[in-house]
Amino acid sequence: MKIKALKGFKDILPGEVELWQILENTARTVFEQYNFHEIRVPVLEETALFQRAIGDTTDIVEKEMYTFVDKKQTLRPEGTASVLRSVIENGLLVQKPVQRLFTIGPMFRHERPQKGRLRQFHQLDIEVLGSKSPLLDTELISLAAMLFSELGIHVSLELNSLGCPKCRPAYREALLAFINERKDKLCSDCQRRSETNPLRVLDCKVPADRELMADAPSIQEWLCEECGDHFNAVQQGLERLGIPFRLNKFMVRGLDYYCRTTFEFITSDLGAQAAVAAGGRYDGLAELLGGPAGTPGIGFAMGMERIILLMQQSEKDFQESVEPLDIYIAGLGDKGQKEASRLAWELRQDGFSVGLDYEGRSLKAQMKLANRENASFVFIIGDEELATGKGVLRNMRDRDAEQMELELKAEAFYFLDDLL
Ligand code: ATP
Ligand code: MG
C-alpha cells in the first residue's frame, strides 16, 4: 500500500513554494524596516508551557494539541509561549530591556482540516516584550497593514480591548448576568463556556447564539481609566497613521493571555476562514511563565496558508518576482557534457545560477528543458565549440538580440551581470 501524507499535513511543492519564498522575503524586509530581530525556537516544548500560557479552558489546550502523553511534551500550537519561554530562559531582557522579535515556522493543531485550515500550518509571528506604550500597539498593527499592502492583499482591521485584571472581573459579572438570562437557549458549548470562560460565549460562531448575544454588554464600556486611556490612544494612533479599523466588542480571542488591545485582520475572500492575522497585548504572561514581574508584552501571528491563498487571488503578478535561471548550458555528447559541467562550476563560483543536464539529450530536448527552467540565456557546447573554444550565447528573453560569440571560460560571461 502506498504511504500518503497525514490528513491536514501538506507538501508545499516546487511551483507553489516560490510564492512562499516571496511571502517570507517580503515579511523579512518589512520586519527589518521595523527593527525586529529573528528568534528560532524548538517545535517541541513541555506541555505545561502551553497549558499555563494559553489557558486550560481554551479550544487549543482543550482539544487541539498534539501531545505525547507519556513524555508530557507537545508540538507547539502557536509561537508566543515558546518565544517568551526562550526570552526568559536566556535572560534576553537583561541584555536589552525591550525585545522586538519575530519567528517564522510551522505550528500544529489537531483540528478538522479544510481550506485555509490545516493540522500543520505556518505562522509569521511578531512579539515585543518590555514596553506598555499604546504607540507600540499602533506600530505593530501598522507593520501588519504594511505587509498586507506590500503583498497586494486587501484585509480589514477589527479592534477591541479586553481590559485588565482590574476591570475585567466586573465586566465578566455583567456579561454572566446577561448570559444567564438566556442560557437555556444557547448552544451546549456556550452553556459550558458560561461556567468556565464566559467571555468566549461572545466568540461563538453559531448564528442563533450570535443573535441572542447581539445586545450583550460591551467590554469597551467597562474599561478602567488606564485601560480606557490606552484603548483611546491606540485608536488615535491608528487614525494618525490613516489606518482604518472597526471596533468589535465580540472579538475576545480564544486565548487566555490577552489583556487590553486585541485585534484581527480579516478577509471576506476565504469563506469561513476569515482571520488572516490576530494578536494583542499580554502584559501578565511573562510573569506567569516565571519572567520578571510586570513585564508587558504584545504580539500577533499571521497565518501563512491563508495569506498564500489571498496572494493567489490577488491582482498582483508575483510571477515577475520569481528569479529565473541565469544560464542553461546544453552540453552535447560526452565531451560536451564534461566541458559544460566545468564551465558551470566556474560560472556558479562567479555567482550565476546555472542549469544543465547529464542525460545525453538532443539539443532540441535540452532547449525545451532550458525553456521550462525559464533560463535567461542558453549556451551550447558541442563538437564545434570544443574545437574552436568558442560558443554562441542565445538570449532567451529577447530572441532578436544579437547573438554573441564567447570563449568557454567564465571571464567571457562577466558582462552578463549587467543584463540579468
Ligand atoms: P481561527 O479562528 O481561524 O481558528 P485562531 O483564533 O485559532 O483562528 P490564532 O491562534 O490567533 O488563530 O492564530 C493566528 C492565525 O493563524 C489565524 O488568524 C490564522 O490565520 C492562522 N491559523 C490558526 N489556525 C490555523 C490552522 N489550523 N490552519 C491554518 N491557519 C491557521
Ligand atoms: Mg482556532
Give residue-wise pLDDT tens across range 288-330.
Answer: 999 999 999 999 999 999 999 999 998 888 877 788 899 999 9
Q: What confidence tier does 367 reach under pLDDT thresholds 50, 70, 90?
A: very high
List every span in the chain annotated with CATH 3.30.930.10.
Answer: 17-167+223-318
Which ligand 1 atom is at minimum distance from the Cα of 113?
27
What whole-number distance in Å separates Cα of residue 63 and Cα of residue 56? 10
In the chain, residues under CATH classification 3.40.50.800 are 323-414
DSSP 360-382: ---HHHHHHHHHHTTEEEEEEE-
Q: Would you place residue 178 in the very low, low, confident or very high pLDDT band (cuts 50, 70, 90)? A: very high
DSSP states along 143-182 = HHHHHHHHTT---EEEEEE---TTTHHHHHHHHHHHHHHT
- How many angstroms separate the first and last alpha carbons of the chain? 48
Question: CA–CA separation, 178 vs 222, rounded Å?
Answer: 14
Average pLDDT over residues 362-385: 95
Distance CA 369, CA 374 (A): 9
Say what the pLDDT of residue 98 is: 97
Give the span between the Cα atoms of 251 and 113, in whole angstroms.
Answer: 23
If one residue of 20, 75, 111, 117 were mutated to test the ligand 1 pocket, choosing by the most ligand atoms within 8 A of its CB, it would be 117
pLDDT above 90: residue 359: yes
Architecture of the structural domain at 323-414: 3-Layer(aba) Sandwich (3.40)
Cross-strand partners of 223:
none
- What average pLDDT does this structure show over 219-230? 97
Topology (CATH level 3) of domain 17-167+223-318: BirA Bifunctional Protein; domain 2 (3.30.930)
Over 80: is that where the pLDDT of 126 sits? yes
Q: Nearest ligand, CA of residue 112?
A: 1
The binding-site residues of ligand 1, defined as CB within 6 angstroms of any ligand atom, are 78, 109, 111, 116-118, 121, 123, 254, 273, 275-278, 301, 303, 305-306
| C-alpha span between 281 and 260 (Å, rounded) | 6
The pLDDT assigned to 407 comes to: 95
Predicted confidence band of residue 168 (pLDDT cuts 50, 70, 90): very high
- The model's pLDDT over 338-347, given as tens digits with 9 standing for 90+, comes to 999 999 999 9
Region 358-370: what's the mean pLDDT?
95
Q: pLDDT tens digits, residue range 61-92?
A: 999 999 999 999 999 999 999 999 999 999 99
Lowest mean pLDDT among 251-265, 273-287, 368-382: 251-265
Ligand 2 centre to CA of 109 (Å) is: 8
User: Can you say how many angstroms the Cα of residue 60 is from the centroid of all Cα atoms in its chain?
Assistant: 19
Q: Is the pLDDT of residue 258 over 90?
A: no
23 to each of 97, 145, 149, 318, how far by Cα in Å?
A: 30, 14, 12, 10
Average pLDDT, the chain: 94
Task: Give the closest ligand to the alpha carbon of residue 252.
Answer: 1
Closest atom of ligand 1 to 59 CA is 7
**Amino acid at the residue 198:** P
